[in-house]
Every structure is written in structure tokens, then in C-alpha cells.
Structure 1
Amino acid sequence: MDDDTSYASGSPHSIGELARLTGLTVRTIRFWSDTGVVPPTDRTPAGYRLYGPDALARLGLVRTLRELGVGLPVIRQVLEREITVAEVAAVHAEALDVQIRTLRLRQAVLRAVAGRGSTPEEMELMHKLATLSDQERRRLINEFIDSAFEGLDVDPGFLASMRSGMPELPEDPSQEQLDAWVELAELVQDEGFRAGIRRAAEDQTRVWKESGRPDGERTKRVAQAIKERSEAARQAGIAPDSPEAGPYLDELAAVCAEISDREDGPEFRAWLLERLETGNDPRYGKYWRLIAVINGWALPDMEPATEWFTAAVRASVRG
């Protein structure tokens, strides 16, 4: 007689009978039996295992929990009433959330690699960037800010705004947010970008030493004026290098001259153009666009206005 000997209806089940009734393999049932989750209730005279009437129900529960990823030690605790199915479900649901998040991050990396034709080294770097924790992401951005502005007399309010704009991936980020994070992480580690941001900060610091730090509210009003008047010109279809741009440019140049304690004129506009070109790295706007995408913020819209204003000043200076 072997281990799958059949017995009459109502009698204890052999492993073979349980396999036929459940669709599980004899090997699987024997393994679960050896681990104690479905223990035999008796033995035949020849020493083969027999299972009681509750074995079918236990096997059904064990199979379900195993398909959900629950380990046999935990399943044994459930069957022995040490923990409840609800408690197990809660823990494993949370674990699945982490796994799903990890898979989405991996998907973002693979899509980025496929789209860029990345080398193996670039793929490894992107994978590391995508799998950083929230704390590690903050550390990366803070390290970039420290590197760009350390030792400079930068406006504390500006630094505060930089540090407040941390990338915060939601629990269930979209593919766009994941792609934006990978791109942002690459950007802040780009030495050229860091150097450009620092040059702009150094130039601003030098200007402040020459003419004094402008009042924060006045600076906001200037920015608002540039946004509104440049946007009005753009909406009217006025090119920055056209004669029609003159009145808009004169108004904005006068505002900038006032805040800088200077007089508008050719010399001032040449000075203003140098300031605008030094501080107008398009990657800085990209930095904030990526932060906005990651955090689900409204996209910043200052960049088009600044570009129009800079082009208008350039056309005025260079004739």
C-alpha cells in the first residue's frame, strides 16, 4: 500500500485523495504536511498519513494565502488562531503597496532607458535614482542647493523657497511624475547646471553689494510687471525685436531701473541684458517645472515672459 491509498467515503483521507479533491499535487500536500500547516490526524498500520475532515478546508485556506504571497510560518499562526486572517491581510496589503510602488519605479526606469537609448551605465544610474527613499531624495536636493549657494550672501527668502520646493512623490505616482523625478535627479547632479546656477547667484550677490539688496515686495512687483506686460505683448502677437515692442520694453525697463536705483538708458539696458542672460539658464525653469510635475502643482508660467523680456532687451541693446 502506498501513500495515496484510497479509503471509503467518510473515512480519513489519504494524500492521494486530497490531491484528487483539491487539484494540488501530492508533493505539495506532503510538504505542507511536513511543515505542520496541514498535519495528519492518523496513520495507517503501514505508517502512511491520514487526514481528517477539516483537511480540505485547511488546504483551501493555505492555497489561497500562498497565492496571495503569505509565507507558511504566518499561515501556521493563522491556522492555530495566533493571528487573524484580517491582520494578515492588512500587513500583506501594505507590503503589496510597497511592491507596486517599486514596480512602477522600475517601469519608469525601463521606459526612460528605452526612450533615450541609454548605456548600461546610464541605466544603472537611473535605477538608483528612481529607487531612492523620500529622505534620500530630500538629501539629494539639499546637497544640490548647498553646492550651488554655499558661501554666498544669497537672500534667505530665496534659499527658503528653494528648500521648501522639495520633490514629494505621492504614494501612487503617475508615470509622468516618476519620469519627472528621474529627470530632476539627473539635472541636479549635472555639474554644468550647478555651475550655471552658482554663476547667476554670484552675479546677483555682486549686484546687491553694489546697489544694496532690493526689498522683497518690490522684487515681487517687478516680477509681476514683467509677467503681465510681456504676456500682454505676446498675446497681441508682438515680437520682442519689433518696433511695436518698444512701449512695453520702455515700461518694464523703467521698473527695473527703479528697483536697481539706476536710470534707464543704453548703458543700463546693456547692464540689464548681462544680468538677464547670466541668470536666465533655461534649465532653472526646467528645474521648477519638474518639481511642479512631481508634486502635482500648477506649472510655473514665468519663463515665457522672462524669455520675451530678455529678447526685447537684447534687440534694444544690439540694435
Structure 2
Amino acid sequence: MSYDGLWSIGELAEHAGVTVKTVRFYSDRGLLPETSRSAGGHRRYGHGALDRLRLIRSLRGLDLPLPEVRRVLDEAEGEPDGAFEQAVAGRLDALGSELRALRWREAALRLVQECPPGERADRLRLIGAVSAPPSTAPLARFWRAWLPVRMPARSVAAFLEVAVPQPPDDPDPAQVLAFARLHALTTRPCTGAGQPQPEAHRAAGARGSTVLYAGLAEAYDLAGERLRRDLAPCPDEALDAFVAAYASAYGTRDTPDFRRLLARQLAADPRIDRYWELVTVVVTPPGGRPEPTPGSAHDWLLAALAEQTAATA
């Protein structure tokens, strides 16, 4: 330090253990202002610049972007406003997303590496169409087009919450492949008149569909409990809730005749079995027990209805 108590740019760089180029970089961006200039126009820095430079280096070592570093430095010189906490939280969120993307890419690479050569091109095409980490937006668009028109937004959101699987943070290759196939299934162009609709969508109308899906959610929860206990389909409380949902939507009573009509209608309705099969793979941890989905619950209830109506025919 010279007689005036100030450091040259070279002296500051030496004390901080960085290059002159680094000090000049932060100075030029206003993060490390010099105290004065020498007669020859050279930058001069006060003793406090060393602590400030060390703080800048520490924040950059945490990979905080320069604008966030500036906010933290401003906070250090003024009233605390949570800038540091916000910057760290934001970086943690970003880092979490980056880690999820890396895990997804790792599982995708293993998927391609382990597959037979004859399947490699098809799998590359499938996973190449999916971002990392993958977006669920195409799946949500698929269901929005399939659900009844003018269905209230709150009801749509409640259904999407259970129908659209969230990609696992640490997937195995099978889950990557299943999600890629889900993406392909829900983004392929529709042919003819478009996505087939269940009869209930046409018969119940907007208000009836809201009643229907609220009742189905309850029935699926009850059927899910039976599936977790490995119970065979049978007429019980879950089936009663299932039929009641359709009866309420149609504005009719739950009678034996209605159950027979409903069984025939549901048997003829378009199915999305492949979607639910893939969802089961996506949401089941490796080696874990498959969790019930609305699709598997619907199948259980439909089988119970068919058994009951056959017995009473």
C-alpha cells in the first residue's frame, strides 16, 4: 500500500489472489469502484475494496449472476431487504432444475445405450422430441381437448392434477421411455373427427359433466383403496359412488335398469388404456408397487359393474 493508503490495481489483485484482468472486469461493471485515480490516470483502491472483492468472488463462486451480486452488494451497504436470501433461493431453484435435467439426460443415455440396435432409432426419435426435464404441457392440452367443453376451470384443474403425471426427479430408463411414449401419444395428430368422446360428455352437458367428474373422483379414490388391498372387483360402496356420479350427471335415479344401460354404454365408450398404462410406469418408483390411477380405478369399477349386471340379468 502506498503512502496515501491506497492500492494500485496490481496490489489489490495480488492481495486478493486474482488477476488484474479480474479486478478490471468487476471495476468496469461498477461492482468494485475505485477510490480515486493517480496523476497518470491509474485506478486506486481503498482497503475496503479487498473485502468487497472477496465477497464478489464468493458470490460468483456460488454461481450467482452479476445482477444478483450487485443487489447483494447494495444491500450490504444499505438497509437489509432480503437480497441475499432471494438470490440464494433463486439459484437453488435453478440448480435443482439443472440437476433434474442432468438426471433425465443420464437416464435417456442409458436407455439408448441398453436398447437393442434395432430399436435405437425409434427410441432416439421418441426421447429427442421431449425436453429435459420434460414438460407436461402437451399432456394437459390433450386432456383439455378431451374433457367436456365449457367445463368449469376449477373442475378441469382438479382433473388435470390427477390425470397428468409429474416426471420423476430421478428417473430410470423405463420411466424416461414411458414418458416419451406418453408425449408421442398425446401429440400425434388426430384423424377423422378428432379425439373420440365418451357418451357422458355429450349427454351430461357442461353442468352435468362437473357433477360427473366430482363424483368420479370420489369413486376412484374408493376403488384405489381396493386396488391397494388387491381386492377383486365387486359391488360395494365404491361402485355405488361410481354409478351415482353418472346418475346425478344424467338427472336420473340409480336403478337396476340404469346400471345395465350404463354398463353397456361404458363398455362401448372409447378407451385410453394405453395412456394409463404408461402413467403407471412413470409414477411407479423402480422396484416399487404400482399406484392406482384413474384409469386402473375405472377398470376396476367397470368390471364390478359388469359382474353385478350379469348376475342380475
TM-score normalized by the length of structure 1 = 0.53
Matches within 5 A, 1:136-151: 136=137, 139-146=140-147
Q: Does the Cα contact within 8 Å between 2:259 and 2:305 map onto a contact in 1?
A: no
Q: 1:115 aligns with which of 99, 105, 111?
A: 111
**How far 1:63 sits from its partner (Å)?**
1.0
Residue type of the partner of 2:129?
A: L
Instruction: Give 2:131's aligned residue.
Output: 127
Q: 1:305 to 1:61 in 2, by over 3 A?
A: same
CA distance in 2, matches of 1:128, 1:298: 25
Distance in 2 (alpha carbons) for counterparts of 1:37 and 1:139: 45
Q: Secondary structure at the match of 1:127?
A: coil
Unpaired segments ≥5 residues, structure 1: 1-6, 209-215, 235-247, 263-267, 314-319
Q: Is 2:108 the counterpart of 1:104? A: no
Is 1:19 the counterpart of 2:13 in the alignment?
yes
Residue 92 (structure 2) pairs with residue 91 (structure 1)? no
Is the CA contact (8 Å cut-off) linking 2:168 and 2:283 kept in structure 1?
no
The residue that corresponds to 1:58 in the other structure is 52
* Aligned-partner Cα distance in 1 for 2:3–2:93: 45
Distance 1:233 1:141, change over 3 A: closer
Q: Deviations over 1:273-302 (max 9, x none)?
A: 9964865653254366479669xx952454
Deviations 1:207-265 (A, max 9, x none): 99xxxxxxx89xx69x97xx79xx6669xxxxxxxxxxxxx9xxx9xx9x945576xxx
Q: Judging changes above 3 Å, is the alpha-carbon distance between structure 1 residues 290 and 186 closer, same or farther for their aligned structure 2 residues?
A: farther
Q: In structure 2, what residue type is equivalent to 1:89?
A: E
Any idea what the Cα deviations from partners look like across 1:184-222, whole Å, max 9, x if unmatched? 4433334689999727x25x78999xxxxxxx89xx69x
Q: How far did residue 60 of structure 1 move? A: 0.7
CA contact (8 A) 2:140 2:160 kept: no
Question: For 1:299, which of 250, 269, 292 is the aligned residue?
Answer: 292
CA distance in 2, matches of 1:285, 1:122: 18
**Structure 1 pair 48/280, CA: closer, same or farther in 2 (3 Å)?**
closer
| 2:184 aligned to which of 176, 181, 186 | 186
- Using the size of structure 2 for normalisation, the TM-score is 0.54
Partner of 2:23: 29
Matches within 5 A, 1:167-316: 167=161, 174-176=169-171, 179=176, 183-190=181-188, 198=196, 201-202=198-199, 258-260=256-258, 276=267, 282-283=273-274, 285-286=276-277, 289=280, 298-300=291-293, 302=297, 305=300
Q: How does 1:66-81 map to 2 (within 5 A)?
A: 66-76=60-70, 78-80=72-74, 81=77
Check the 8 A contact 1:187/1:287 in 2, yes or no: no
Identity of aligned residues (%): 23
Query: Which amino acid is the alignment partner of residue 90 of structure 1?
Result: Q
- Give the distance between the partners of 2:268 and 2:99, measured in 1 at CA: 42
